[in-house]
A and B are shown apart, each in its own frame.
Chain A
Amino acid sequence: MLTVTSLEVWRGESCLLRDLSFELLPGQTALITGPNGSGKTSLLRVLAGLALPFAGRTQWCGTKVHRLAPETRSEIAYLGHRDGLKNELTAEGNLQFTRDFWNGRDEIDRILDELRLKPFRRREVRRLSAGQRRRLALGCLRLKPARLWLLDEPLTNLDDKGVGVMQTWLQHHTGAGGLAAVSTHQPGRLTGSLAIEL
């Protein structure tokens, strides 16, 4: 479970958020909303352990996130604006690398099928559309054996069917005891048990 205690986050000279505390339990989804520049991305990066908070603590099952041992760290999956896909590899190649590196689920075929990316599996990522790219990035997320998903505006560029797939996956993930913190500008399209407004 994720515990955030009196968190204070700065970006450069400006204080983005102050005294934020919440607790996310298995099966819960936190929806992070707020206008542009309010610190949604910064917050998610702190939660992932990519950036250090100015003050306060972020703990995953009792350990500070930036102190997690590599094996425990892989329980947290982060998907930001930059999707981490390699342009030079095929769609399938990216999924295979994610599976091998994270020692993830062997479900590449099923995921390609659900994302309707099967016809493009051998296509280089640079030749995919923005929406297809985003789907593939979500597919990589799905392969990881993570318990906590940290998603930075996952619905960007997705069409209705893509949003549908994401909703189903999120429900499935939390239904199986997973946790998720999702930043979004379309809170109506996702359901969360915890709302964090910045």
Chain B
Amino acid sequence: MADIFICILKRDLRLAFRRWSELATPLIFFVIIASLFPLAASPDEAQLRSTGAAVLWMSALLSSLLALDGLFRADAEDGSMEQLILGPAPLGLVVLAKIVAHWSVSGVPLLVLAPVLALSFYLPLTALPGLVAALALATPTLSVLAAIGAALTVSLRAGGTIIGLLILPLTGPVLIFGTRATELAALGEPLAGPLYLLAALAVLSVSLGPVITAAAVRTALE
């Protein structure tokens, strides 16, 4: 089992790096949205500090949606998804490996970029560990949600935009607890509460999400 998980993980990472431009687009998108926002609002320090958490989280959310459209599409189009469905491993495990691979090339860079951008919103340095922790717990949930959306829309031609309509309403809890944790961190208050809730959401989505995604992929390709 572990062999197959690692085998898929390695394959997807290798493929991701061969298509690095697809990889970079959502990240650049994230940076651009987050840095355009202060131009639209006033560059006043107090105001930026109060909206910074919300802007960072919204841009992270949108960029992670942008990243996930290709998760199953390429494999479905060249027939390798059929081969994975027929393979000797439970499809849920294969899907989990694909989500993990995608998270490590789309979620992890976000963890690195977010603190840098946070500084441009005058978030105090002491708030950065809290922000990174909250993002580290939230991005797996976002990846799983977007994977479910990607699987449901894999057979549709204009899947990319529909994923947003399907998934964005479901990201509410992540957004609420994520921004709350960031705000608390910025105020220097204890933020364990929202972090625990984010962790609970991550456990829920990582344990149930792959099974749902696998069922959706199987149905979409039937």
The chain A residues found within 8 Å of chain B, CB to CB, are 48-52, 70-71, 73-74, 76-78, 80-89, 93, 97, 100-103
Contact = CB atoms under 8 A, between A and B. Distances in A.
B90 A82 contact: no
B86 A82 contact: no
Interface string B70-105: 000000011110111111111000000000000000
A82 B84 CA distance: 13
Contact of A73 (B11, B82, B86): B86
B82 A82 contact: yes
Interface stretch (B12-20, B24-32, B161-169): B12-20
Nearest to B1: A70
Given A51-B222, A84-B78, A103 B83 contact: no
Contact of B79 (A80, A100, A103): A80
A80 B85 CA distance: 13
A88 B15 contact: yes
B96 to A, nearest CB: 14
A54 to B, nearest CB: 12
A73 B85 CA distance: 10
Contacts of A50: 82, 85-86, 221-222
A102 B3 CA distance: 10
14 contacts: A50-B86, A73-B88, A74-B88, A78-B86, A80-B82, A85-B78, A86-B15, A88-B18, A88-B19, A100-B3, A100-B7, A101-B7, A101-B8, A101-B88
Interface of B: 3-4, 7-8, 11, 14-15, 18-19, 77-80, 82-90, 221-222
B13 to A, nearest CB: 12
A100 B90 CA distance: 15
Contacts of B7: 97, 100-101
Nearest to B11: A97
Q: Which of A50, A71, A80 gathers the greatest number of chain B CB atoms within 10 Å?
A: A50
B87 A101 contact: yes
A101 B88 CA distance: 8
A70 B82 contact: no
A52 B15 contact: no
Given A73-B87, A73-B88, A84-B78, 11 more contacts: A70-B87, A74-B86, A78-B86, A80-B82, A82-B78, A84-B82, A84-B83, A88-B19, A101-B11, A101-B84, A101-B88
Contacts of B8: 101
A84 B3 CA distance: 21
Contacts of A83: 78-79
A82 B79 contact: yes
B112 to A, nearest CB: 25
Nearest to B77: A82
Given A50-B222, A52-B222, A88-B15, A71 B88 contact: yes
Contacts of A97: 7, 11
A146 to B, nearest CB: 9
A102 B78 CA distance: 18
